[in-house]
Structure 1
């Protein structure tokens, strides 16, 4: 059997052989009964009702991982890896799954991304979904850059609702946040939507302290004359977006700012499954709202399911459980078998998301309950005890935590005693003092190390570097020479590095237009008794500093980031290759 067939067979057989006992809530399905013990079948589909009684009639479908913007809070500066095209859902598969979910009670479908407008068959997909019985609403979340051009045909095809992501009303700031131009086109798209009768047009604004929190009142002012619903979204952590608490602005803080200007602000009635807390300034045409995923969760009324672009069903955006419906479809399983697998996934949905590990990262605190509950949850789920002194918000990328909890003992005390006793700093002696490692008895071998780093430049600086390279200039040549010189002087810069003879040092510079970035890669080779990781890393660092020094006369808005070891080989510890992970886009929340 193929890997796909094996995974599908495993999921299906797991369902059929689910352990049953007097205390188990799962039972063999019988006509007229539910999967849930002692719960009668409700009119709404049992497959889409979880164990807490939540009925999932809202499906979000990511049409693509691609985007024509590079928002700083959404995407790491080095970009993300993309799933091969053949592993993404086809239009036919999207329609088939939409029909299946609609047959079980889904009435609303939202198309997201990435950026859905970059998918060429978007209009055809909307048209086909609009023909599915039971689908009352087809919505789309977009960055709006190309919205005005596509919107007339999308409306004709059946698009019902539009959400536009816009984090600033200042064109220059838009370019800084998104690393692209296009603010005027986004505004044109919003106006086009209003002219075509979309009411309201929802505007999603991620609020970040020191970046756009000074524009909150300007966004509220938009609602005076425009039929827009501005939704202020609390800034949330994602792997690679460099989240920190200093950037966080809470719902209550935003509300206080607005009430200082409009004390008559009125709280509106929310619908049962709304994620946004609605308000309106009396006399204004539009409204505002707050999506409070960080400070006040709305898990209890969650009616959403998600399909990723590669066909994975996620019952919770912050959950770690996913099941590939794409693989099930492509292996030829029936709709009934597919529904059973969906039913198991929905039935296993947690009560709330906080504190769970997923592909984006991990919260080491339950923001929606007390700290002791959060501690117990992590002890139960991962077998790791959180120290009693822990009181701050922390965010660890998922790959780091994967390595931690998969390789360490069950308890923190065990971790300290048994695990750490086998680990030590080689550059520290038994008394805790720094020392140089004695390599005189090590074998002389050929050793190689490769490192990389990124210099994110201001757009104008990037264009000048690009032009200089095209004209045979020496901006990158100077950086190249600086990197080689830095590698040769590593032992003078890093206290405990050995002075070794380098047989090769070379740097390459890749200009990434869509990110205004220069990716520097350095390779160092030696034949010695010790490795050359530090030489490769120093070459990248000094080369990046030299480029930064040249560009700072044009703009101070340049950043050196993501310096890392990619590969090393030839030493006693064996070969190391760095694994990279993919992050998820922020606006999948919206």
Structure 2
């Protein structure tokens, strides 16, 4: 785009900021040779320099409301996880057997990463950091860096890597636009490196550090997670490294995540590390930190490099946090330690507009808490459950995005007409209504006719109490079919349905870990043939579904098949079951029960080897023959 500002941009500025408290006088748009420059005369009243007639838009406009939380924190830094895969198995990061990997189709594509990033950058994000897993195992890494570096408004493309594959890729990455680099290294001892990471590769990391210095990545940041009894004896060695190398060694307090068996006895707090360093270098001096820095910076006089401390546990820096995180499967996390996420991937793939996507982002950011729960509570929390912000709010948004206006109207009507709506209080946090929600709810109001009360807003936003079916036959699409209008369980009457051939397929996975998986591969587990026994167990369970699940009908199955396959990459067993019948109702539950019991049987027959077994990802993948066919 060249010449003057686009018509859309001018319209946006006029509609949102002209004659508001930001611009008490009208803005006059004039032609310019730059697309991001606007003529702004007579703006001394809003604190701008009268001697200047041209301002960049970022200097004139307030920071995006979508990326500002209820505590006034402006989020201009986006961290994007490119992959769940990693070529190391660091003890503080993941269990020895690795982590359950999402199917490739669940991960963000190159274009989706670029599109979501462009949206964030348009709202004020000027720094993006690429993380993982290990970002360099992603084959399209150069394309991603190149795409992001070309975004209008981006100032810094950074990457955090373990350095194993960095040396040979770094020149091309730098040319593509990678401007800042963090390398993870927890020990200067090759044997200890192998113990910590459960892999070889120390020499590769050291060569990568030298290559980064050679290519003028200054300061090159070295991330060192300090764990008591493991590497706290090397703190001085890392400081000594800064004498001759222009690096910034950042000592990170050991943090709790799922699978890393965190306990406070392994934690070495910043105060203790600092006292240890000052014993050897008493002249150690505190140097200034940049705004929003997570690291508290220090320097030994005369040394080329610096050191810093990231004290997430002992001295949290939540008050100045400006970071948002996007997971590899497209979920937005507003806090590293938070357990709330919202899927931008699903919303993007549903065909949502930019405005609708920004609305969801704005609500998520607005709900960011003042600070994390504290290290002892964090250690007990699950780090990545899928909890969508505002159950009913997201449900209604999804209906809107997919064009199902009729279903959305029925859902909203159901929520508004519930008997206990009047008892729902206005929420204390009106962030959504104040900044982004009012326009969205007003649009919903236009779609369905009429306006919303605060009680209805509360329900949509997920702040209401228990919801149950109205039990009206006409509202079957939006009702819980196994619950009557009084909230009591009931069996569904299927006598009015058509007799058709019905098929359902479900799948699941059992992650075993290396030892049990290796024994299973050669069929040497003490309890016998795990795969055959589990297959039979799944078939028997499917045939007894109505005895296990109280409200299921007793269905005569014409076919039930259960298959178990070994996945060497993840050291897991993939379980799939297909059920078939000709009758009045579907066989989804039969397929799901078969997968569940087959998975439990695998667990039972392998538990003598290890209890570190995970069953998960159990889901329906196909359903046909009923009113709503389904496949994924």
TM-score, normalised by the number of residues in structure 2: 0.55
Deviation per residue, 1:471-507 (Å, 9 max, x gap): xxxxx89x756x67xxxxxxxxxxxxxxxxxxxxxxx
1:247 equivalenced with 2:270 (yes/no): no
The alpha-carbon distance between structure 1 residues 124 and 252, as it changes in their structure 2 partners (threshold 3 A), is: same
Separation (CA, whole Å) in 1 of partners of 2:572 and 2:329: 30
8 Å Cα contact 1:454-1:562 kept in structure 2: no
Runs of 5+ in structure 1 lacking a partner?
1-28, 35-39, 363-379, 381-405, 407-449, 471-475, 485-507, 520-530, 545-560, 567-577, 582-590
TM-fit CA distance, 1:281: 0.7
1:350 equivalenced with 2:364 (yes/no): no
1:196 equivalenced with 2:215 (yes/no): yes
Runs of 5+ in structure 2 lacking a partner?
1-15, 22-45, 47-59, 386-427, 429-464, 466-508, 529-563, 574-596, 619-632
Separation (CA, whole Å) in 2 of partners of 1:267 and 1:115: 32
Separation (CA, whole Å) in 2 of partners of 1:66 and 1:535: 28
TM-fit CA distance, 1:347: 1.3
TM-fit CA distance, 1:541: 6.5
Separation (CA, whole Å) in 1 of partners of 2:275 and 2:66: 43
8 Å Cα contact 1:307-1:313 kept in structure 2: yes
1:51 equivalenced with 2:70 (yes/no): yes
8 Å Cα contact 2:83-2:138 kept in structure 1: yes
The 4+ residue runs of structure 1 with deviation greater than 6 A are: 29-34, 450-453, 508-514, 533-539
Separation (CA, whole Å) in 2 of partners of 1:337 and 1:453: 41
**Equivalent residues in 2 for 1:135-534 (5 A)?**
135-354=154-373, 359-360=382-383, 480=525
Q: Helix, strand or coil for the counterpart of 2:251? A: strand
The alpha-carbon distance between structure 1 residues 452 and 187, as it changes in their structure 2 partners (threshold 3 A), is: closer
TM-fit CA distance, 1:320: 2.3
TM-fit CA distance, 1:580: 7.1
**Equivalent residues in 2 for 1:64-75 (5 A)?**
64-75=83-94
The alpha-carbon distance between structure 1 residues 480 and 53, as it changes in their structure 2 partners (threshold 3 A), is: closer
The alpha-carbon distance between structure 1 residues 451 and 99, as it changes in their structure 2 partners (threshold 3 A), is: closer
The structure number with the bigger radius of gyration is: 2
The alpha-carbon distance between structure 1 residues 92 and 257, as it changes in their structure 2 partners (threshold 3 A), is: same
TM-fit CA distance, 1:354: 1.8
8 Å Cα contact 1:167-1:207 kept in structure 2: yes
Deviation per residue, 1:414-457 (Å, 9 max, x gap): xxxxxxxxxxxxxxxxxxxxxxxxxxxxxxxxxxxx99965669
TM-fit CA distance, 1:47: 1.1
Q: Helix, strand or coil for the counterpart of 2:65? A: coil
Q: Helix, strand or coil for the counterpart of 1:346? A: helix
Q: Helix, strand or coil for the counterpart of 2:151? A: coil
TM-fit CA distance, 1:56: 0.7
Separation (CA, whole Å) in 1 of partners of 2:134 and 2:63: 32
Number of residue pairs the alignment of both structures matches:
389
Separation (CA, whole Å) in 1 of partners of 2:257 and 2:565: 28
Deviation per residue, 1:198-241 (Å, 9 max, x gap): 10110101100111111111111110000110000000111111
Separation (CA, whole Å) in 2 of partners of 1:81 and 1:452: 7
8 Å Cα contact 1:452-1:540 kept in structure 2: no
Separation (CA, whole Å) in 1 of partners of 2:512 and 2:175: 47
Q: Helix, strand or coil for the counterpart of 1:306? A: strand
| Match of residue 562 from structure 1 | 611
8 Å Cα contact 2:525-2:606 kept in structure 1: no
TM-fit CA distance, 1:101: 1.1
8 Å Cα contact 2:100-2:511 kept in structure 1: no
Separation (CA, whole Å) in 1 of partners of 2:134 and 2:601: 40
8 Å Cα contact 2:97-2:514 kept in structure 1: no
Q: Which has the higher contact order (CA 8 A, sep 6+)?
A: 1
The alpha-carbon distance between structure 1 residues 308 and 534, as it changes in their structure 2 partners (threshold 3 A), is: closer
TM-fit CA distance, 1:322: 1.4
Separation (CA, whole Å) in 1 of partners of 2:354 and 2:510: 49
The alpha-carbon distance between structure 1 residues 223 and 46, as it changes in their structure 2 partners (threshold 3 A), is: same
TM-fit CA distance, 1:163: 0.3
TM-fit CA distance, 1:51: 1.2
The alpha-carbon distance between structure 1 residues 451 and 296, as it changes in their structure 2 partners (threshold 3 A), is: closer
Separation (CA, whole Å) in 1 of partners of 2:353 and 2:569: 46
| Match of residue 103 from structure 2 | 84
The alpha-carbon distance between structure 1 residues 298 and 195, as it changes in their structure 2 partners (threshold 3 A), is: same
The alpha-carbon distance between structure 1 residues 562 and 54, as it changes in their structure 2 partners (threshold 3 A), is: same
8 Å Cα contact 2:339-2:384 kept in structure 1: no
8 Å Cα contact 2:242-2:249 kept in structure 1: yes
8 Å Cα contact 1:238-1:361 kept in structure 2: no
Separation (CA, whole Å) in 1 of partners of 2:183 and 2:256: 21
Separation (CA, whole Å) in 1 of partners of 2:600 and 2:158: 51
Q: Helix, strand or coil for the counterpart of 1:52? A: coil
Q: Helix, strand or coil for the counterpart of 1:264? A: coil
TM-fit CA distance, 1:31: 7.6
Separation (CA, whole Å) in 1 of partners of 2:177 and 2:260: 35
The alpha-carbon distance between structure 1 residues 454 and 341, as it changes in their structure 2 partners (threshold 3 A), is: closer
Q: Helix, strand or coil for the counterpart of 1:159? A: coil
